[in-house]
Amino acid sequence: MKVKSLLAKPLAYFVHSQVKKGAQTAVPDQEALFKKLVAAAADTEFGRDHKFAQVASHTDFRQAVPIRDYEGLKPYIEKIKSGKHNILWKGKPIYFAKTSGTTSGVKYIPITKESIPNHINSARNALLCYMAETGNTAFSDGKMIFLSGSPVLERIADIPTGRLSGIVNHHIPKYLRTNQLPSYETNCVEDWETKLDRIVGETINQNMTLISGIPPWMQMYFDRLVEKSGKKIADLFPQFSVMVHGGVNFQPYAARLFETIGRKVDAIETFPASEGFFAFQDTQDGEGLLLNTASGIFFEFVPAAEIFNEAPTRLTLRDVKVGENYALIINSNAGLWGYNIGDTVKFVSTDPYRVVVSGRIKHYISAFGEHVIGEEVEASLLKAAQEHGVPITEFTVAPVVDGGRGKSYHEWLIEFGTEPADLAGLAQKIDDNLRQKNIYYDDLIRGNILLPLKISVVRKNGFIDYMKSVGKLGGQNKVPRLSNDRKIADALMPWTERS
């Protein structure tokens, strides 16, 4: 056993025990954190505007602070960008995380001295909990991919600004720097395909033990390695044992990823965003991600069906129920207040508090009143694909609206690892699964308002070519699972063969 893996063991056991203890005190930790956050921000401009000095309870807070998205907080962020202090949080941020928005264009998310440990320590804790549970510390002696956006940061109001992953790159501990790939120079490359080729070149002959990224990126990387070497990933990297992933649901990608690797490896799921690191997989044996309840973020939960109401129900951790679909609202020591991050979660356990990410608030189909969500389409496809033995590379779903009764339907645009022998049978099975999961969709099929879904086969690398065509090919970008319009579906048509 080498030095790093040897030293990792006692740290892993200590952190794992602390995480387990924290999981048992989640509710009181959240309640104490709420009071601490409000008190700390009372003298900021936001705190004065919303009378934080008079907020004594969550009921007071709900009345004082409305739910906002980025557009709602943007006037305050613009003041920070102009150089003002004590706006959303005391002092000024130490970074701006620059991220893409849909209606807002580029978003600038503040990261403060108090909030940066949430991003750094949560990723560390996920790995250490895995080590403590499995005993696998050997991967820490090998080479690991920590893919990031460019670590070169610009300055806005003298605040370093860039992609969150590029910011975090500056905080990787020194003892891991010698293990880290790709090189700093390669991480600075902006053109994605050039960057990917350089990553392949730098890693193909290395002892890779851990690879992290969003599943579509990992699949692209593995495919490029196989193409260049002619070997399965397991033969190329015999010590490769851990995948760290997040950003999208892993399950639709899992079969093809493991097929490309040539064997199963352990996977650790995380739930990070520019606004905070919300949860991570703390065990290989249970479902869901442990909510980060003592890491600078006070969570609220709005029943997903109410999120666009004028006065939606806002629950604290104490009041959530297993199986309910909630929009996730955060209040944090980065100065985000009543902030709707756009994701929905479901609790799979309240002892401890573990969640699964069920979808995006804006990513749904309800062109006919069915309100189909991401979790439903992913589960329906995954079950059918497993039964038919078909690996899925990528997919998205959109409505086809026809004026005549019984002529409209959902179009599923799917890129397969291997095309199914019975495409019609697969489509029927997916449709049956979705009808079982969504009673409104089932009613529309039964009432002949909708036809059963239809599959359009996307040619190999079609999604990659589409993402390239819209300037979004890259390690941090992903295709929405479903849309309530046909913007993405129509743009995919050049790479699609309709069934």
Cis geometry, peptide bond prior to residue 182 (ω within 30 degrees of 0): yes
Calpha distance 177→202 (Å, rounded): 15
With a cut of 60, say whether residue 499 has pLDDT above it: no
Tell me the one-letter amino acid at 141.
D
pTM: 0.82
- CB neighbours of 464 closer than 8 A, spacing ≥ 6? 220, 473
pLDDT tier at 294, thresholds 50, 70, 90:
very high
- Nearest of 32, 31, 41, 35 to residue 56 by alpha carbon: 35
| Sheet containing strand 276-280, strands side by side | 180-181, 143-146, 208-213, 242-245, 266-273, 276-280, 289-291, 353-360, 339-350, 325-332, 297-303
In a 3-state reduction of DSSP, which class is residue 266?
Answer: strand
Using one digit for the tens of pLDDT, what is the confidence trace for 239-287?
999 999 987 778 878 888 999 999 999 999 999 999 999 999 999 998 8
Tell me the one-letter amino acid at 139.
F
Q: What is the DSSP letter of 189?
A: -
Using one digit for the tens of pLDDT, what is the confidence trace for 122-156?
999 999 999 999 999 999 899 999 777 788 999 99
CA dihedral defined by 199, 200, 202, 204, rounded to 10 degrees? 150
Q: Which domains does the chain have, with CATH numbers?
A: 364-498 (3.30.300)
With a cut of 70, say whether residue 425 has pLDDT above it: yes
pLDDT at 279: 97
pLDDT at 102: 46
Which backbone phi and psi does 399 adopt, to 5 degrees? -80, 150
8 Å CB contact between 285 and 308: no
Calpha distance 301→303 (Å, rounded): 7
pLDDT at 135: 94
Structure tokens at 150: 């460019």
pLDDT at 103: 46
Using one digit for the tens of pLDDT, what is the confidence trace for 456-477?
999 998 988 888 888 777 666 6
Using one digit for the tens of pLDDT, what is the confidence trace for 72-122?
999 999 999 999 999 999 999 999 999 875 445 689 999 999 999 999 999
Calpha distance 99→108 (Å, rounded): 7
